[in-house]
Amino acid sequence: MTRTTKPCLRLWAAWPSLMVAMAGITWAGEAAPEGFVPLFNGRDLAGWRGRPHLDPREDARGGAAERQARQKQWNDDLAAHWRVADGVIVSDGHGVFLTSDGDYGDFELLVDWMLPAACADSGIYLRANPQVQIWDPGCQRDRVHGAEKGSGGLWNNPPDSPGRFPLVKADRPIGEWNTTRIAMRGDRVSVTLNGQVVVDDQPLANFFEKGRPLPERGPIQIQTHGAPMHVRNVFLRETPR
């Protein structure tokens, strides 16, 4: 497949603060970086709800009572599989996805994640669309899917499209924390993992409506995929288009 390692200078020029994340800094227990707001308060899951892998168009299905009952069911499922321990969001790998209450359009997202077990697999959905891929590059089982190339790619993009796999493998070993910076502008996404650019200003494909633009706004989701996942230091800054 065709790849490029040249950083997108237009993106960096538009958002100078991206260089903070490029240094691989983490913010454990600290206030949000300047211009960002915390999406996780370090104590509980306030500001988050349960939601499965679901076409965003389905969110409006049914009347108010039906939607409320559906959301309660998802929230109960969330409580059964997600918790906060010592300032870290911990998932057992099952159940609905951790989903932001808020919807976002263009933004910068900073998040630390850690896979505590070998062959774990997760991801970060943007505007409810999959996904910035997170997995174990050393997992022999997932080599058939390209896991050895590393995390951070837009894995649900069409095969051989730029951005589907990361430019470099930047993952830290299983059990260690990884720092990710995601910049989204329109349909285009850049991802920095542990200080290295792994996706450089590539379009994220609309998973649910093939060939159409992404929804203009939508929630952030942390995927569960059958293995434990840990998350901390979640900060977001909305950016003007």
In a domain, 53, yes or no: yes
For 192-218, write each residue's pLDDT tens digit. 999 999 999 999 999 999 999 999 999
Residue 210 maps to a domain: yes
Within a domain: 45: yes
Query: How far is residue 91's CA from residue 87's CA, in Å, rounded to a whole number?
Result: 13
Each residue's pLDDT tens digit, 84-93: 999 999 999 9
Whether 4 has a pLDDT exceeding 60, the answer reads no
In a domain, 174, yes or no: yes
Domain assignment present for 89:
yes
Q: How many domains does the chain have?
A: 1
Q: Where are the beta strands (DSSP E) in the chain?
A: 37-38, 48-51, 82-85, 88-91, 97-100, 107-114, 121-126, 129-135, 178-185, 188-193, 196-203, 221-222, 229-238
Band of pLDDT at residue 238, cut at 50, 70 and 90: very high
Read off the pLDDT band of 29 (50, 70, 90).
low
Res 194: pLDDT:
98
Cite the DSSP H helix spans in 82-229. Answer: none
**CATH code, domain with 209:** 2.60.120.560
Residue 31, pLDDT score: 77
In percent, how much of the chain has pLDDT > 70? 88
Residue 226 covered by a domain:
yes
Residue 21 inside a domain? The answer is no
Residues spanned by the domain of 133: 37-238
What is the pLDDT, as a whole number, of residue 30? 61
